[in-house]
Chains A and B, each alone.
Chain A
Amino acid sequence: MDKFIWAFLVGGTICVIGQILMDVFRLTPAHTMSALVVTGAILGGLGLYEPLAEFAGAGATVPISSFGNALVKGALAEAERNGIVGVLTGIFEITSAGVSSAIIFGFFASLIFKPKG
């Protein structure tokens, strides 16, 4: 049960950081999301994101910052196995589920739904 509370608190906090970037620093949503992804990648490279994800569960893996972390993780894991080329081949290894399902279901949505307004 603890995990649910931490997921709520950590996930909420990351969203507040995003909101502050948007409101106080006047970034567009696209800039905010890019900034969070880059932050996630850097935290992942420093080895700080994994402990956070272990501790907060979905609170750390659901926000977009985990995308950056997963990209770094995939690249490093593949590089460990196959050498430096692994950085290129492994970069989408973990995030493949998220990216491809977003493309596939987004395409389905364009087949089914009509634009509103």
Chain B
Amino acid sequence: MSSKKKKKLTPTQQKYQVFAKEREPKRPVVKNSIRAFIAGGLICTFGQGLQWMYIRYFNFTEKTAGDPTVATLIIISVLLTGLGVYDHIAQWAGAGTAVPVTGFANTIASASIEHRSEGYVLGVGGNMFKLAGSVIAFGVFSAFVVALIKITIKSLGGV
């Protein structure tokens, strides 16, 4: 909690915040990290296997194989989300399933499935990017800034 918010609380409330914080269950950081490492590593190894398959059997090159690999991972992750399996894996793996591109697909698929009762236009269409939108918005904005900086440096005769 920010210190700004803390100032508004009465002394009793502040005491309670301290009390609650002490009793909050400690997060098992090491255990979670190991799980994230294993799950994330396996997803990436699987992606590497897909990429190898596309290069070897479908005439993709090292550069172009990325697209079908990502698309395949997304299809698998959407299917697992729809079947309700992805949530169980994610509960075990934490960031291991959230950080790879499969987590991005999972947020889109789960948001669109969840809101389908509100109709396809307002529910599915409107809520699809509820969680994934922040990734796209921040990604695009930061990429824009980075690209502009790089072009400016280049045109000034830098690296």
Contact = CB atoms under 8 A, between A and B. Distances in A.
A116 B41 contact: no
Interface residues of A, number: 70
A19 B94 contact: yes
A7 B84 CA distance: 27
B43 A11 contact: yes
Contacts, number: 252
Interface string B65-103: 011111101110011011110000000001110111111
B117 to A, nearest CB: 7
Contacts of A32: 95, 98-99
Interface in A78-117: 79, 84, 87, 91-92, 97-99, 101-103, 105-110, 112-116
Contacts of B108: 102-103, 106
A112 B117 CA distance: 13
A97 B134 contact: no
A36 B99 contact: yes
B48 A59 contact: yes
Nearest to B37: A12
Given A12-B37, A15-B39, A15-B100, A76 B48 contact: no
Contacts of A101: 70-71, 74-75, 105
A76 B147 contact: yes
B29 interface: yes
B33 A20 contact: yes
B112 A58 contact: no
Given A45-B147, A102-B104, A15 B95 contact: yes
Interface in B34-51: 35-45, 47-51
12 contacts: A11-B47, A15-B40, A15-B96, A18-B99, A23-B29, A33-B103, A33-B134, A41-B143, A58-B45, A72-B150, A79-B147, A115-B113
Given A16-B37, A59-B48, A102-B108, 5 more contacts: A11-B45, A15-B95, A87-B148, A105-B109, A109-B78
- Minimum-distance CB pairs A-B, first 8: A11-B44, A15-B40, A12-B41, A71-B143, A58-B47, A45-B146, A18-B95, A113-B82
